[in-house]
Structure 1
Amino acid sequence: KIGSGGFADVYKVLLINRIVAVKKLSNEQTITEETFYREVDNLMEVKHKNMVQFLGFCANTEDIPVKDPELEEKYVYAEQRERLLCFEYISNGSLDRYLSGELRGLEWNARYQIIRNICEGLRYLHEDKHMIHRDLKPQNILLDDFMVPKIADFGISKLLDDGASKAITKSPWSGYCAPDFTARGEVSFKFDIYSLGVIITELVTGHADITLKCQVLRRWRYRWNNSEGTALMCRQIAKCIDIGRQCRKEDPKERPSISKIISYLDEVDSANGRSSNPDDEESGDSQIIPGFNYLLLVEPLELFFPFEINKDISCPLYLTNQTNCYIAFNIHPASQLQYCAKPNLGIVPPLYSCRVNITLQAQDKAPPKDMLHDEFIVMCTQVKEGLTSEDITDDIFSKERGNLVEEVNLDAIFDVQ
């Protein structure tokens, strides 16, 4: 047994010198013979390099004698159905195992090829087979030996009909579920597009939150050792952030079709790579061109704390001002752990570097496993010459007041021996 869900258990099976994946549908699902065979016919027709290949099925119905609780000498016959679906076995597991932030995990080219291939598989499902997946999520995208994604469980939600639809909204993966479905029960191709938008965002950033392109590009450039990478890679990242945002529009009519999404990707990969899409947000060369100058160069973006009980642990952070302006900064942690940043706020003069010591104050026990990763936010903005640290207030970093404010996210990693 290699997996289980609300509707089926999955088994790895050796069948005539070939390993296959067998999905055993739950007996609790009431599927009529007519519905089952109709959907199996549809599954048999799905053949695409980015879809898990359906190989066959086994169906059996038996009447099982059960003693009548009211009449002990009498039996009633309960119908018991067995439904087995056989698929090709995909060796590298599901996509959720490979999702990570920009600084770790898969390189950008690998992530981008996964995005493109998922889109090609969904285009085939929507436009060639006129099928809605209904449950697109990283757990239902499998990766083969060459990291080529294959969409799984297509047609299963439709086969299970209303029971599946209700379970989707209650599942831990409901973050991939379109609001038009959760609010009104609407199912359309745009249902899958919403799910795709969340997946694309996660592949680019490692999380589902919609993030500014400049923040994402900063982290990718840091991974590339502050080299420029390539202009094409930066355009691809920026475009994927745009697509993820558009796919998650509240109104399904405003979400692009899968063909439109692929045309956006084709466009960015073309020779000029310039977008003609009027819906692109944060447009402007400073967001896309790799040589964009930030207010402050913040390094490192990963802070490593070799944890020891009852001992203060420090990590240096460097803020470098490569501009001709005065830049104010403010540093604060995202969690409730006790940190001390010296200085936690200040002003960096032009062409100057400031060192900040961030100290995790002594803890009497190690953080739990789910808290070995933490975050800091560095906010910075341009200020007038002559101001001092005492003049820095929260209002300076208020975007509502029209100030240009950059936010830099730092990862804190605890190394617990």
Structure 2
Amino acid sequence: MVEGGSGILHGMANIMFDASRERVDIKSESNVLEHTLLDESVELTNLPLGLLQHITEDFADARQIGRGGFGIVYKGDLQNGSVAVKRLLNSHTIEEESFYREATFLISVKHKNIVRLLGYCANTESKAMINPEPGETPKFIFAEIRERLLCFEYINKGSLDKYLADELRGLKWHTRYQIIKGICSGLEYLHKEKGIIHRDLKPANILLDDLMVPKITDFGISKLLDGVTHIVTSNSAISLGYCAPEFIKHGQVSIKSDIFSLGVIITELVTGCKGNLDIQNVLRRWRYRWNKSVNYPLFGYQQVTKCIEIALKCLLDSPKKRPKISDIVSMLNALENTNEHINNVGDSLVGPISPYPWELLEFDRLELNFPFEINKPIPCSLQLTNITNDYVAFDVEMTGSLQYCIELEKCVVPPRSKCNIMVTLQAQKRAPHATVCKDEFFIMRCVSVNEGLGAEDINIDMFNEESGKEVDEVTLKVVVITELLVN
């Protein structure tokens, strides 16, 4: 800041030395930016602030499409396309170093799974301001007003978090698998080719284009490794649901921190949630969906299994035990090149997929749906089929806080026969809260038993590991549908 004399006219308080107000040929500059957008070989450019103000309607709230740790993102419209303009927040633009560091390494980042930087803007203007001192003649100071902006390609489909769903709905498996591969490819490029730690890898920072190709974005809190294997940071602008335990405990960040985040993302893409991975139930749910669809992915079983295996390794507490991103990419590539057949399925894409070896009972549904009505019990039927040549005993448990009545909690199902269960949600005076419903599950434990046993012979010890028999534990989600309520 520079102080001015007291003789300066009061009107100078409004004087602006503003580079953005210089005459800018908006049409010409828009054409340059549009050419950069359409031709990836064009070098990045320093964009005038006036152009970015024009295409975002002076950073109007209605143009805001995202907010990250370092700034707010606006959509800017050109004559033949759109761009995303990231306006860095003032708290992070006081020092130019942050901006130039980000702009410098982003300029060199070019990969199909990384959002492309089209240009940047570093604008500084001076503003005369009154700085009154009590009892003295007012003085004028000239304050620097800095604008630091980055202009990226606009990705039409939005962020990945809007597309996450469980196995029974949402994106098809092939699409999810291609997204996983794309994210891994982009992260390998950042780690190996550019030495960049993302530090905030999460679905909200992965964008999808019209072909559902993933593109990693938001390097606002990224760091260059500069030859070191890890750094310690006090930066709190990291999403806790995706950050590694060593960051939570010690503030330590490394490329293995990104690997942990990747493990959470893969888990969400495979299952729709961050919870514990039960590989048998995950595969059961995917098989159920595949059998309901016309086409079945030839290597779906192997791909789901491999992705779960990778996710579990990524989520290990010890950073040293987590795989490198290059190892993960190699595992996925090896799977692509294999000629092995899916267990129990063969080469055919037609016909139902046979049950997996551990499955003892087949279910006609894998969710219990209760269309809620106030003060009314809501029934839901479930049909089981014994798909083995053995007698199968089962025991049912309901988790959560809601009350249920179960007809046939225990039973022995003869070989190749069916059994019906009725689960009734007890009458409730008010609709349950959504967070309550998330904890509601129907759990059935199944085990092969000898002929002659009845329901009265079933006990908890039969389902323990000590019994020496393989137990199939099936988890069904409980869905309480409250949208049908009339206010």
Give the TM-score taking structure 1 as reference length: 0.88
Shift of 1:187: 1.9
Distance 1:380 1:11, change over 3 A: same
Q: Show structure 1 runs of 5+ residues with no match.
A: 275-283
SS for the counterpart of 1:187 is strand
1:67 equivalenced with 2:131 (yes/no)? yes
Aligned mate of 2:313, from 246, 266, 271: 246
Aligned mate of 1:11, from 74, 78, 83: 74
Shift of 1:255: 1.3
Distance 1:253 1:82, change over 3 A: same
SS for the counterpart of 1:58 is strand
Maintained 8 Å contact 2:75/2:82: yes
1:262 equivalenced with 2:332 (yes/no)? no
Which piece of structure 1 moves more, 134-143 or 305-314? Answer: 305-314
Aligned mate of 2:169, from 100, 104, 107: 104
Distance 1:163 1:32, change over 3 A: farther
SS for the counterpart of 2:197 is coil
Give the distance between the partners of 1:328 and 1:19, measured in 2 at CA: 61
SS for the counterpart of 1:97 is helix
Maintained 8 Å contact 2:232/2:251: no
Q: Match for residue 280 of structure 1?
A: none
Shift of 1:238: 0.4
Maintained 8 Å contact 1:339/1:360: yes
Aligned mate of 2:265, from 196, 199, 202: 199
Aligned mate of 1:397, from 455, 463, 470: 463
Give the distance between the partners of 2:435 and 2:122, measured in 1 at CA: 43
Q: Match for residue 154 of structure 2?
A: 89
Which piece of structure 1 moves more, 178-187 or 255-264? Answer: 178-187
Give the distance between the partners of 1:302 and 1:42, measured in 2 at CA: 48
Alignment of 1:3-402 (within 5 A): 3-15=66-78, 17-29=80-92, 32-64=95-127, 65=129, 67=131, 73-74=138-139, 78-154=143-219, 156-158=221-223, 165-168=235-238, 173-225=239-291, 229-273=296-340, 291-293=355-357, 294-370=359-435, 374-399=440-465, 402=468
1:42-86 Cα offsets, whole Å, 9 max, x none, are 111111111111111112334553535756734565544321111
1:97-156 Cα offsets, whole Å, 9 max, x none, are 111110001111111111111111111111121211111000000011111111011354
1:332-368 Cα offsets, whole Å, 9 max, x none, are 2232111111112222222221100011111222333
Give the aligned residue type for 2:120: F
Q: Show structure 2 runs of 5+ residues with no match.
A: 1-63, 225-230, 347-352
Which piece of structure 1 moves more, 230-239 or 134-143? Answer: 230-239
Give the distance between the partners of 1:321 and 1:71, measured in 2 at CA: 92
Shift of 1:200: 0.7
Maintained 8 Å contact 1:132/1:155: no
Q: Match for residue 65 of structure 2?
A: 2
RMSD: 2.9
Give the distance between the partners of 2:419 and 2:367, measured in 1 at CA: 17
Q: Match for residue 24 of structure 2?
A: none
Maintained 8 Å contact 2:404/2:424: yes
Distance 1:138 1:69, change over 3 A: farther
Distance 1:91 1:291, change over 3 A: same
Distance 1:368 1:147, change over 3 A: same
SS for the counterpart of 1:319 is strand
Give the aligned residue type for 1:248: L
Give the aligned residue type for 1:252: P
Distance 1:253 1:400, change over 3 A: farther
1:367-403 Cα offsets, whole Å, 9 max, x none, are 3355566432222122343333233333332336654
* Identical counterparts, % of pairs: 53
Maintained 8 Å contact 1:43/1:155: no
Distance 1:361 1:34, change over 3 A: closer
Which piece of structure 1 moves more, 101-110 or 76-85? Answer: 76-85
Give the TM-score taking structure 2 as reference length: 0.76
Give the aligned residue type for 1:251: S
Give the aligned residue type for 1:46: V
Number of residue pairs matched?
Answer: 403
SS for the counterpart of 1:407 is strand
SS for the counterpart of 1:224 is helix
Shift of 1:273: 4.3
Distance 1:55 1:387, change over 3 A: same
Distance 1:211 1:287, change over 3 A: farther
Give the distance between the partners of 1:91 and 1:162, measured in 2 at CA: 36
Maintained 8 Å contact 1:235/1:273: no
Q: Match for residue 20 of structure 2?
A: none
Q: Which has the larger radius of gyration?
A: 2
